[in-house]
Chain A
């Protein structure tokens, strides 16, 4: 959104600033909780309350924020996350020898993102999805992937509908999900905290924050290592993710689709109907 001046921006956005500020105060006053869930642990911290309160106030639920303000908040997220990422860079600088020594694990850990295609695409086809499945399973589907799929397949494509669906689900639940998933996988006791930290760098800063914060609760003595490695993993995914998606994941997804769709795909037409996911975006 373009504003004529800072004054105009403040006039349009002051409600967002004040609300975000109050949400921060409220979230911090609530504080942190640990809840045992089966073998894992759900670690609740202010990041989650912020997301939940923000969504509740949105136009689809309580309606305190109008659609216009929701749109205006999007670029502000990028500004807010910048100091966080800088801080991770600074922590990583102090832990650089460890990051270098774990370089191979970090680099190969990136391949985990490609396994998503191999595991999730056949399941999606089995469930009856068609071309949406290629968009949905080619990556974790964050902002850069939206842009990529739009430019490769076009704004009206089935592939983009799959990507958008994942984008929405990831935005609403991804952060909390990764926080819980990290602690659940940690509870198996099979993995070193360093490996868990590397896996936390999935390529979305806010999800990495949730996973590493949960892990730091479980392994307090490794906290700094976890943040540094999670940050490094996230940075690597950020740098390579787009190219890996374009040159490896998408061709691989298309290959698997050609191979498996005639065999395990359902005969009936696509289950994600166009009118159901016809976004105005």
Chain B
């Protein structure tokens, strides 16, 4: 995807986030505006960075690291970034993700109905064991290190 397309699409996502923040959390559009601008700008910078840096890392890692670096107290714009983003509820950006993800997996229903029940059981075990093993290990390590 070209940078121009990223900018355009991030603009569309921005409208979606502002809408969610308005309907779901009663945040006035004027309050959301700066926060959304910050989030989408950092996402755009992350796209640029991921195109420059030759490391083979998932793109969203750049988003996460950049967001964190820019919001740290040592960052010159740290307070500004944290304060502006503070107006965006945690789950506000995710409703748009859900809508698009739903559309994107729409064609897998027929494939799903062809799957054997055994693989469905295995899928449930895989998902459950990932979470449960992690939580047990994390709890044990927390108890040891206090």
B52 surroundings in chain A (CB, below 8 A): none
Contact A24 B95 (CB under 8 A): yes
B interface footprint on A202-216 (CB within 8 Å = 1, 0 otherwise): 100110010111001
A209 surroundings in chain B (CB, below 8 A): 91, 94, 97
B53 surroundings in chain A (CB, below 8 A): none
**Interface residues of A: mostly helix, strand, loop or mixed?**
helix
Contact of A90 among B9, B20, B71, B95 (CB under 8 A): B71
A97 and B119 CA atoms in complex are apart in Å by 42
A248 proximal to B (CB < 8 A): no
A87 and B124 CA atoms in complex are apart in Å by 30
A interface footprint on B132-145 (CB within 8 Å = 1, 0 otherwise): 11111111011001
Q: Which residue of B lies closest to A229 (CB)?
A: B138
Contact of B116 among A47, A174, A271 (CB under 8 A): A271
Contact B94 A84 (CB under 8 A): yes
Q: A46-B20, A47-B91 are in contact. Are A169 and B125 (CB under 8 A)?
A: no
A111 and B53 CA atoms in complex are apart in Å by 28
Contact of A82 among B57, B60, B116, B134 (CB under 8 A): B60
**Interface residues of B: mostly helix, strand, loop or mixed?**
helix
B interface footprint on A182-211 (CB within 8 Å = 1, 0 otherwise): 100100001110111011101001100101
B49 proximal to A (CB < 8 A): no
A20 and B113 CA atoms in complex are apart in Å by 25
Contact of A87 among B16, B67, B145 (CB under 8 A): B67
Interface-lining segment among A34-42, A61-69, A149-157, A255-263: A61-69
- Chain A CB count within 10 A is highest, among B66, B93, B112, B130, for B130
B40 proximal to A (CB < 8 A): yes
A200 to chain B, nearest CB (A): 8
B interface footprint on A46-88 (CB within 8 Å = 1, 0 otherwise): 1111111111011111000101011101111111111111111
Q: A76-B100, A91-B90, A105-B142 are in contact. Are A198 and B134 (CB under 8 A)?
A: yes
A6 and B63 CA atoms in complex are apart in Å by 23
- Jot down 28 A-B pairs with beta carbons below 8 A, ordered by A: A3-B5, A20-B99, A21-B16, A47-B98, A58-B103, A82-B10, A83-B40, A84-B94, A88-B64, A89-B66, A90-B85, A93-B71, A93-B78, A93-B82, A109-B134, A110-B134, A112-B133, A112-B134, A124-B122, A127-B122, A137-B122, A169-B119, A172-B105, A172-B112, A175-B101, A177-B127, A239-B57, A277-B115
Given A83-B36, A238-B64; 7 other pairs, CB 8 A cutoff: A47-B91, A58-B102, A90-B70, A112-B132, A137-B125, A168-B112, A171-B108
